[in-house]
């Protein structure tokens, strides 16, 4: 009897063991467990697959189930799927002097799929290329459209495997520009809210009238600059270059953050008006550059650290007056050796360097028709081209002429770019067509690098309400400036 019980018990154990191990064999668990492996889609680049596979090679790393890696691409970042991680951003570009500003989504997709060299990774974008919008979406403004977003997608059956993959993969992915980390700095040309505009102010009664068509646009950037050539005073008339105090609202309506004071008219209404104006800028929290209460203050560079950008703005007066050499208010006098020293100090900090120059003006506005004389960079007294290029040779990234009332040409030179004259943003010179337009610039700076300088155009008429040029007007304007570039 005992023998039968023992045999029965052994059979039970054998059956149980066979069942237990059979289940393990069928389900591939226990001693029969097959660890998960890393797999890649057929189109996954071999070189990238090798790098990812190597992350899972240490013996202590074991997957429960298989992980599959593949790429997905889309035109809208907000549509990214779960377990997708941004691996690259591709943007459309044109050559530096192109009048093209945008292309359709279909054209962009076609260029991307064809491997066109005009489509580049955002990591390779620099200011020597011209970033294009896709439709109305400009990547450096939207950051979630206007580009093709390439995502690394991971598929897995268990959250544990996916978490392990995230911990291994995410530290290897690059960071990309975002709105929180990219500084947008808009620069505009001559502002002189005076003479005829004073007369217009008396008719309309409010400074915001002049910004109705441009204020929202200029306020949209992180920082907005203009070169204001007239001081505020109670004695502004239709005959002087002095500003009615109500024009303070014009400046605040465009979101002004930085006012350049290199102009040669800021002392037209006396030192007290200049000092009162500086006090008003301080009160409003508007930073100044290129001018001040004394020669020492006027010479101070403006360092911008917003969004960790690392930008130094330098501004000088090489013009027909307005500079201070002592303890009186005025503009910062240009000395070549000092400018070279200022640039070198900024570059030693690793900053992007922007140099503004109030140079001798072109005054050859011959008639009421379209005259191109002042479009040329050599149309001012002295060697304008040589002076501006020397600043690039010394290390500046961007050099900008802020004295020209009629926009002058621009060029890519050496390792930088030069805009010889931006023209009038706000002024009363409405009788010459060339002085009613201006070239505006938006610098996009990320991670200590100038990614792009975007050009826009403005225009006003005898109402003095400045507005943006449309795409067609801007293309004609840029083409005109291109035609003047025989330097």
Apex CA 355: angle with CA 357 and CA 404, to 5°?
30
CA atoms of 229 and 133, how far apart (whole Å): 34
User: Across the strands, what pairs with 330?
Assistant: 292
The alpha carbons of the chain give a radius of gyration, in whole angstroms, of 31
CA atoms of 484 and 477, how far apart (whole Å): 11
The CATH number of the structural domain formed by 182-483 is 3.60.21.10
Structure confidence at residue 28 (pLDDT):
47
Structure confidence at residue 369 (pLDDT):
78
| DSSP-based three-state secondary structure for 25 | helix
| DSSP-based three-state secondary structure for 166 | helix
Tokens 């598929």 belong to residue: 155
Answer whether 125's CB lies under 8 Å from 454's CB.
no
200: nearest Cα among 459, 463, 424, 426: 463
Least confident of 20-29, 126-135, 243-252: 20-29
What rounded mean pLDDT belongs to the chain? 93
CA atoms of 57 and 38, how far apart (whole Å): 10
What secondary structure does DSSP assign to 457-483, as a single string? Answer: EEE--TT---EE--HHHHHHHHHHHHH
Parallel/antiparallel/unpaired status of strands 398-401 and 323-324: unpaired
Instruction: Give Cα 149 distance to the centre of its chain.
Output: 19
Who's near 9: CB < 8 A, 6+ residues apart?
Answer: none
Q: What is the pLDDT of residues 9-66, one digit of tens each?
A: 454 445 454 444 444 444 445 444 568 999 999 999 999 999 999 999 998 899 999 9
Who's near 417: CB < 8 A, 6+ residues apart?
Answer: 96, 127, 128, 397, 398, 399, 410, 411, 453
Answer whether 330's CB lies under 8 Å from 324's CB.
yes
Q: What is the 3-state secondary structure (H, E, C) of 198-267?
A: HHHHHHHCCHHHHHCCCHHHHHCCCEEEEEECCCECCCCCCCCCCECHHHHHHHHHCCCCEEECCCCCCC
Structure confidence at residue 412 (pLDDT):
98
Find the mean pLDDT for residues 243-256. Answer: 98
Count the neighbouring beta carbons within 10 Å of the beta carbon of residue 28: 10
Task: Please tell me the pTM assigned to this model.
Answer: 0.92
Find the mean pLDDT for residues 450-456. Answer: 98
Apex CA 119: angle with CA 186 and CA 181, to 5°?
40
Answer whether 366's CB lies under 8 Å from 322's CB.
no
User: Across the strands, what pairs with 291?
Assistant: 331
Which two three-digit tokens encode residue 450? 């100038």
Q: What is the pLDDT of residues 358-367, one digit of tens each?
A: 999 898 876 7
Answer whether 138's CB lies under 8 Å from 131's CB.
yes
Apex CA 304: angle with CA 298 and CA 309, to 5°?
155
Answer whether 319's CB lies under 8 Å from 351's CB.
no
CA atoms of 112 and 258, how far apart (whole Å): 39
Q: What is the pLDDT of residues 281-334, one digit of tens each?
A: 999 999 999 999 999 999 999 999 999 999 999 999 998 899 999 999 999 999
Q: What are the boundaries of each domain within the chain? A: 38-172, 182-483
User: Across the strands, what pairs with 323?
Assistant: 331
Answer whether 218's CB lies under 8 Å from 188's CB.
yes
Find the mean pLDDT for residues 64-72. Answer: 96
């Amino acid at each position: 009897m005992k023998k039968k019980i023992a045999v029965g018990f052994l059979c039970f154990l054998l059956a149980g063991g066979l069942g237990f191990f059979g289940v393990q064999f069928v389900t591939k668990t226990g001693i029969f467990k097959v660890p998960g492996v890393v797999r890649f889609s057929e189109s996954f680049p071999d070189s990238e697959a090798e790098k990812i596979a190597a992350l899972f090679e240490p013996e202590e790393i074991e997957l429960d189930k298989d992980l599959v890696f593949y790429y997905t691409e889309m035109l809208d970042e907000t549509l990214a799927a779960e377990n997708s991680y941004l691996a690259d951003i591709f943007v459309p570009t044109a050559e530096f002097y192109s009048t093209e500003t945008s292309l359709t989504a279909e054209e962009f997709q076609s260029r991307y799929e064809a491997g066109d060299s005009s489509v580049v990774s955002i990591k390779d974008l620099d200011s020597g290329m011209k970033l294009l919008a896709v439709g109305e979406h400009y990547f450096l403004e939207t950051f979630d459209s206007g580009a093709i977003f390439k995502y690394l997608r991971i598929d897995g059956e268990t959250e544990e495997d996916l978490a392990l993959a995230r911990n291994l993969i995410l530290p290897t992915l690059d960071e990309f520009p975002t709105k929180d980390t990219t500084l947008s700095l808009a620069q505009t040309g001559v502002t002189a809210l005076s003479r005829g505009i004073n007369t217009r102010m008396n008719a309309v009664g409010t400074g915001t009238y002049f910004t109705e068509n441009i204020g929202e646009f200029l306020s949209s950037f992180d920082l907005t600059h203009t070169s204001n050539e007239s001081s505020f005073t109670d004695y502004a008339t239709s005959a002087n270059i002095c500003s009615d105090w109500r024009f303070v609202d014009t400046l605040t309506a465009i979101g002004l953050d930085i006012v350049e004071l290199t102009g040669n008219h800021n002392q037209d209404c006396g030192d007290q008006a200049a000092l009162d104006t500086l006090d008003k800028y301080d009160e409003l929290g508007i930073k100044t550059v290129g001018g001040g209460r004394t020669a020492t203050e006027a010479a101070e560079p403006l360092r911008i650290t917003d969004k960790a950008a690392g930008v130094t703005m330098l501004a000088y007066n090489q013009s027909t007056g307005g500079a201070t050499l002592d303890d009186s208010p005025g503009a910062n006098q240009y000395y070549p050796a000092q400018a070279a020293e200022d640039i070198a100090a900024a570059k030693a900090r690793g900053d992007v360097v922007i140099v503004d120059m109030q140079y001798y003006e072109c005054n050859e506005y011959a008639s009421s028709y379209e005259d191109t004389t002042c479009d040329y960079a050599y149309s001012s007294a002295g060697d304008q081209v040589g002076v501006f290029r020397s600043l690039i040779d010394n290390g500046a990234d961007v050099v900008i002429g802020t004295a020209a009332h009629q926009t002058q040409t621009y060029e890519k030179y050496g390792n930088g770019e030069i805009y010889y004259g931006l023209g009038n943003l706000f002024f009363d010179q409405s009788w010459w067509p060339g002085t009613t337009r201006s070239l505006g610039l938006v610098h996009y700076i990320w991670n200590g690098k100038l990614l792009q300088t975007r050009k826009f155009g403005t225009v006003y008429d005898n109402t003095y309400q400045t507005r943006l040029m449309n795409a067609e007007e801007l293309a004609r304007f840029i083409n005109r400036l291109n035609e003047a570039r025989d330097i």
